[in-house]
Amino acid sequence: MANVDYDAIIIGGGLVGTAVAYGLARRGKKPVVLDEGDIAYRASRGNFGLVWVQSKGFGVPEYQRWTRRSSADWAAFSAELQKETGIYSGHERSGGVTICLSDDELERRATRMAQLQREAGDFGFEYEMLDHAALKKLITAIGPDVVGASHTKYDGHANPLYTLRALHAALLKHGGTYVPHARVEAIQAARNHFTITVGDVTYEAPRLVLGAGLGNNALGKLVGLNVPVQPSRGQIIVTERVAPVLPMPTLMIRQTVEGTLMIGESREEAGFDDTTSPEILHTLAERAAKTFPFLRHTCIVRTWAALRVMAPDGLPIYEQSAQYPGAFVCTCHSGVTLAAAHALHYAGYVIDGAIPPELARFSTKRFDHVQAVTSQH
Ligand SMILES: Cc1cc2nc3c(=O)[nH]c(=O)nc-3n(C[C@H](O)[C@H](O)[C@H](O)COP(=O)(O)OP(=O)(O)OC[C@H]3O[C@@H](n4cnc5c(N)ncnc54)[C@H](O)[C@@H]3O)c2cc1C
């Protein structure tokens, strides 16, 4: 049996775990990522790809600030990954819109945006409410059923698969280790000393990061962390490639750099069932076609469903174990949006051995009393 020492063991090789692992490696640390096999639930391979701000943090300004920080960092993060690996993440910060199909929707949207601005305080939050004519100037393809939209300059999108690939490549380039088919079922924990055996190999490190998505719920219990994440299903439709038609992403429809249109996303409580359902796909397609009538003549090439990693209040969970200092959890339902923050900042907190006070709102302490869901993608 071989014993291998690292600076940190990260459990989970999706967008969250790999972002933190890369963040450690780019700071000269030696991380190892232990990742389950292909049968695992992997939100990172089935998501929509928004780097999204304008729906984040109603009633929780800390979340808006953290999201804005990541969104602002994304361009440099993407450029760094491309420089390191030659892989372009597809990131564009072109601004984004949430489209409304009725006066009622538009009014509710305006109220929400005003709330975000109010709660942003000195930090500021710039947005515009656009009527049909103003939106048509930005996105000419909208149909007559579109009443208006909210617009912010902070939003954007990326290709989550290229991002994940780039993170893995950059991790290896900086001396990190990735171990596939390595499901972790037991952790030997002591203060700042963690030992995990998978197969014939035992991994040891002074830091442990739970970045295992839905797996964090069970893993947390092994190191004194309460991580009550649950699945929330989302379904996505992808069309054939068409010439550039959307200059910016919308909350529900975006055009990829390759030309396909992605249409999503639903939110359903379906347990661990990650299959698609015709009713939901029909609803998504109908709304998309009302928004952009040209879609009625565009072929669908693929649909899928995937499971979000959702805390009861929809916020990220960042915590260090009080029982076993050195063990951290990093989990969220917006792992694309927050990838830059996890790589560029959260990894530093793991090294320092402390999560800063501005992230205290995301501590597990809040699960003493459950709150309402406060965020969307
Ligand atoms: C339909 C849909 C749309 C979405 N749209 C967006 C969006 O537009 N923008 C956005 O920012 N986010 C979006 N998300 C959310 C985003 O995809 C997730 O936040 C992110 O992928 C979570 O990444 P993760 O690494 O935590 O989890 P995962 O991708 O699930 O990865 C977890 C990894 O941990 C491994 N693992 C689990 N248990 C163990 C174990 N015991 N031992 C070893 N390994 C283990 C698994 O094998 C897996 O590889 C969307 C999600 C869905 C489902």
Residue nearest to atom 18 of ligand 1 (CA): 335
Give pLDDT, residue 375: 41
Residue nearest to atom 3 of ligand 1 (CA): 47
Architecture of domain 2-82+160-228+313-368: 3-Layer(bba) Sandwich (3.50)
Give pLDDT, residue 371: 41
Give pLDDT, residue 368: 77
To the nearest 10°, the Cα dihedral for 169, 172, 174, 175?
Answer: 180
| pLDDT tens-digit map of 177-208 | 999 999 999 999 999 999 999 999 999 999 99
Q: Does residue 184's CB lie within 6 angstroms of at least one atom of ligand 1?
A: yes
Q: Does residue 41's CB lie within 6 angstroms of at least one atom of ligand 1?
A: yes
Q: Which atom of ligand 1 is nearest to the CA of 45?
A: 29
Q: Which atom of ligand 1 is nearest to the CA of 34?
A: 43
Residue spans of the domains in the chain: they are 2-82+160-228+313-368, 94-155+230-310
Whole-number percent of the chain with pLDDT over 90: 90
Q: Does residue 314's CB lie within 6 angstroms of at least one atom of ligand 1?
A: no
**How far does the centroid of ligand 1 lie from the alpha carbon of residue 152, in Å?**
26
| pLDDT tens-digit map of 222-264 | 999 999 999 999 999 999 999 999 999 999 999 998 999 999 9
Among 43-47, 59-63, 125-129, 364-368, which stretch is predicted with the lowest mean pLDDT?
43-47
Q: Which of 57, 75, 68, 239 is nearest to 158 (CA)?
A: 75
Residue nearest to atom 9 of ligand 1 (CA): 50
Residue 5 has pLDDT above 50, yes or no: yes
Q: Does residue 337's CB lie within 6 angstroms of at least one atom of ligand 1?
A: yes
Mean pLDDT of the chain: 94
Residue position matching structure tokens 């995937």: 306
Residue 88 has pLDDT above 80, yes or no: yes
Q: Does residue 332's CB lie within 6 angstroms of at least one atom of ligand 1?
A: yes
| pLDDT tens-digit map of 312-327 | 999 999 999 999 999 9
**How far does the centroid of ligand 1 lie from the alpha carbon of residue 232, in Å?**
11
**How far does the centroid of ligand 1 lie from the alpha carbon of residue 291, in Å?**
29
| pLDDT tens-digit map of 327-343 | 999 999 999 999 999 99
The preferred substitution site among 155, 262, 336, 342 for testing ligand 1, maximizing ligand atoms within 8 Å of CB, is 336
Q: Label residue 1 by pLDDT band (50, 70, 90).
A: low
- Domain 94-155+230-310: give its CATH code: 3.30.9.10
**How far does the centroid of ligand 1 lie from the alpha carbon of residue 19, in Å?**
12
Same CATH topology for 2-82+160-228+313-368 and 94-155+230-310?
Answer: no
Residue nearest to atom 35 of ligand 1 (CA): 12
| pLDDT tens-digit map of 155-168 | 999 999 999 999 99
Residue nearest to atom 1 of ligand 1 (CA): 234
Give pLDDT, residue 256: 95
**How far does the centroid of ligand 1 lie from the alpha carbon of residue 335, in Å?**
7
Q: Which atom of ligand 1 is nearest to the CA of 337?
A: 11
**How far does the centroid of ligand 1 lie from the alpha carbon of residue 46, in Å?**
8
From first CA to last CA, the distance across the chain in angstroms is 44
